[in-house]
Amino acid sequence: MSRPVIRLEEIGKTYSQGNQPIEVLRDISLQVEVGEFIALLGTSGSGKSTLMHILGLLDRCSTGRYLLAEQDVSQLPDERLSELRNRMIGFIFQSFYLIPYVSARENVMLPGLYSRTPGRILKTRAEELLALVGLADRMEFKPGQLSGGQQQRVAIARALVNDPQVLLADEPTGQLDSKTSGEILDLLTDINRQGRTVILVTHDQATANYAERKIFLDDGRIRND
Ligand SMILES: Nc1ncnc2c1ncn2[C@@H]1O[C@H](COP(=O)(O)OP(=O)(O)OP(=O)(O)O)[C@@H](O)[C@H]1O
Ligand SMILES: [Mg+2]
């Protein structure tokens, strides 16, 4: 039985640059089932990050319809979007975006503060997640005291703290060496096997091979799925 978690219906995205409209995404229709592991590929400027931002409710499409867990989010007010994003989506970026002056544990706890999870439960959950990503012995370290791969593990633990259905990763291994990249991709594979939907942006074929479905973007359109 098919259970789409994400459904895009002919979405488009246009930015206005001065009085010049720039069409960055066009006619994108896409259905993603619960538990899929998808790689989104395409050359630089093809619209991958723009599409991820729309999928992650960080940005809105200009035309078309987006259904997230069967709810039409295209017209939701910003406040509802933020609440939905916090609850349903986890993000991992190429630059880890950790808060430098607090510990790994506090970084992981941060998105949970917005969802008003009680502090003690949140702390336990952060510790469990840090153990899951292999950082049980680094919980009180600050980001500057961790390697790049370890920082990305913290970011992955943080992305999971609100138990999101969907994990979006934009070039998560872009700053890492190939061995560390492999470890991070294995971790994302494990997370996917636990039933979470993972969408990974990359321009690297070897990275994309971790996914079971590949979608190619070309100049804002889906060229191949
Ligand atoms: N805020 C904006 N205003 C105007 N144009 C934008 C804006 N954001 C992105 N674009 C344009 O949209 C196009 C797609 O950008 P996007 O960042 O989605 O590409 P990408 O596929 O992620 O590329 P890369 O692999 O380099 O990260 C680019 O041509 C870019 O200039
Ligand atoms: Mg990008």
Q: Is 202 in the pocket of ligand 1 (CB under 6 A)?
A: no
For 60-117, how does the pLDDT look when each residue is reduced to its tens digit (9 = 90+)? 999 999 999 999 998 899 999 999 999 999 999 989 899 999 999 999 999 888 777 8
pTM: 0.93
User: Is the CB of 17 within 6 Å of ligand 1?
Assistant: yes
Helix, strand, coil share (%) of the chain residues, nearest 5? 35, 30, 35
CA of 172 to the centre of ligand 1 (A): 17
Is any ligand 1 atom within 6 A of the Cβ of residue 149?
Answer: no
pLDDT for 17 equals 82
Q: Which residues does the chain have with pLDDT short of 50?
A: none
The pLDDT of residue 1: 53
Taking the CA of 40 as reference, the closest ligand is 1
Give the pLDDT score at 208: 95
pLDDT of residue 121: 93
Distance CA 87, CA 90 (A): 8
**Residue ranges of the domains in the chain?**
36-60+77-224
CATH annotation of 36-60+77-224? 3.40.50.300
Cα dihedral angle (119, 80, 50, 39), rounded to 10 degrees? 60
CB 91 within 8 A of CB 68: no
Instruction: Enumerate residues with CB within 5 Å of ligand 2 (an ion).
Output: 49
Rounded to the nearest 10 degrees, the angle between the axes of helix 119-132 and helix 104-114 is 130
